[in-house]
């Protein structure tokens, strides 16, 4: 179904990998991505061809109703020297795990409080201009808006898994931002699927970067790297092409 779409989207590797896995939704107390062991209980079917190589196809049974795909942007300086960083863009796509359709999205710019003036490097990297943050809520209010969106989308009573590209967003940035803002990390933010690991399980090769993963699926990148707007664009494009 993905292959029929005319757009090559950032999210496609997510869909292509996620659709192949049976996941287990047991909450675990530690901050962590689902472990390799979590993925090891697959039922093998016939080998199939992927990118010219045979891989063992795995039975597709999803224990999650939705995937929430997240990609934070944060304040930064050249060579990663800014400390602490603060979240400035909070985008999230809601993907139906059965249909792989993107049903809704949340997108919010966030005004940083410790370093409210973006560095030229950060503006250049993320495409987020200082004026785009004027009048935007702080992180605590952003989380309230996010939870309102989750409630509106009936996510709080459904089985969902957060999905990120790498562990940085939920292992490093989100808990650090919660600490800075004086709020607890919500339990649903303590476990996630790292698509780089999932890609590795699906293909036998570790996904070093989004661009490398896209390339191996012969998908071109749409949108802009280091920009959460890209996720929103995915939702818009998906609907236009549906
Ligand atoms: P990304 O997930 O690649 O969009 O990056 C997330 C955040 O990591 C960015 O918003 C920046 O704060 C930081 N970051 C990414 N790449 C760099 C870089 N080359 N130098 C400094 N910070 C970076
Ligand atoms: Mg990111």
- pLDDT for the residue 124: 96
Which of ligand 1's atoms lies nearest the C-alpha of 73? 10
Q: Is 208 annotated in the active site?
A: no
Confirm or reject: Cβ of 162 under 6 Å from ligand 1. no
**86 part of the active site:** no
pLDDT over 50 (residue 72)? yes
> What 3-state DSSP class applies to 47?
strand
Catalytic residue among 113, 208, 226, 235: 226
pLDDT at 211 (0 to 100):
87
Q: Does any ligand 1 atom lie closer than 6 A to the CB of residue 226?
A: yes
SS (H, E, C) 134-179: CCCCCHHHHHHHHHHHHHHCCCCCCCEEEEECCCHHHHHHHHHHHH
Q: What's the pLDDT band for 118 if we cut at 50, 70, 90? A: very high
- To test the pocket of ligand 1, the residue of 10, 75, 76 to mutate (highest count of ligand atoms within 8 Å of its CB) is 76
Q: Higher-confidence residue: 224 or 108?
A: 108
Q: Give the ligand 1 atom nearest the CA of 88.
A: 10
Q: Which of 3-12, 21-30, 123-132 has the highest mean pLDDT?
A: 123-132
Is the minimum distance from the CB of 170 to ligand 1 under 6 angstroms?
no
Cis before 84? omega within 30: yes
Please report which confidence band the pLDDT of residue 37 belongs to, taking 50, 70 and 90 as the band edges: very low
- For CA atoms 50, 56, 57, 62, give the dihedral sign: negative
What pTM did the predictor assign?
0.79
Lookup result for tokens 């390339």: 215
Ligand 2 ion: nearby residues, β-carbon < 5 Å: 71
Among 21-35, 52-66, 101-115, 165-179, the range scoring the smallest mean pLDDT is 21-35
Distance from residue 175's CA to the centre of ligand 1 (Å): 17
Q: Which of 14, 73, 83, 171 is the best mutation target for the ligand 1 pocket, counting ligand atoms within 8 Å of the beta carbon and taking the most? A: 73
What per-residue confidence (pLDDT) applies to 25? 36
pLDDT value at position 84?
Answer: 97
- Residue 166 Ramachandran class (φ > 0 left, ψ -120 to 50 alpha, else beta): left
Q: What is the mean pLDDT of the chain?
A: 79
- As separate numbers, helices (DSSP H) first and strands (DSSP E) second, the chain gives 8, 9
Measure the CA dihedral 77/80/83/84, to 10°. Answer: 90
| pLDDT tens per residue, range 211-235 | 888 888 888 887 777 777 666 656 6
* Cα–Cα dist 231/241, whole Å: 15
What pLDDT is attached to residue 32?
A: 74
Token pair in block for residue 10: 């950032």
């Amino acid at each position: 179904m993905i292959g029929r779409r005319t757009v090559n989207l950032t999210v496609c590797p997510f869909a292509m990998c996620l659709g192949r896995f049976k996941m287990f939704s047991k909450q675990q107390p530690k901050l962590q991505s689902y472990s390799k062991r979590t993925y090891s209980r697959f039922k093998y079917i016939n080998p199939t061809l992927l990118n010219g190589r045979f891989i063992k196809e795995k039975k597709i049974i999803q224990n999650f109703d939705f995937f929430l795909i997240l990609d934070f942007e944060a304040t930064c300086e050249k060579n990663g020297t800014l400390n602490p960083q603060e979240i400035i863009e909070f985008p999230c796509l809601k993907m139906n795990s059965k249909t792989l359709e993107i049903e809704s999205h949340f997108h919010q710019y966030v005004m940083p409080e410790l370093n409210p003036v973006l560095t030229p490097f950060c503006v250049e990297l993320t495409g987020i201009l200082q004026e785009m943050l004027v009048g935007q809520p702080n992180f605590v209010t952003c989380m309230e808006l996010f939870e309102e969106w989750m409630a509106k989308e009936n996510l709080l009573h459904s089985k969902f898994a957060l999905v990120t590209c790498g562990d940085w967003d939920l292992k490093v940035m989100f808990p650090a931002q919660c600490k800075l803002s004086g709020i607890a990390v919500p339990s649903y933010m303590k476990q996630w699927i790292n698509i780089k690991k999932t890609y590795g399980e699906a293909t036998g090769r570790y996904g070093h970067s989004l661009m490398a993963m896209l390339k191996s699926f012969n998908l071109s990148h749409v949108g802009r790297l280091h920009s959460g707007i890209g996720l929103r664009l995915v939702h818009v494009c998906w609907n236009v092409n549906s």
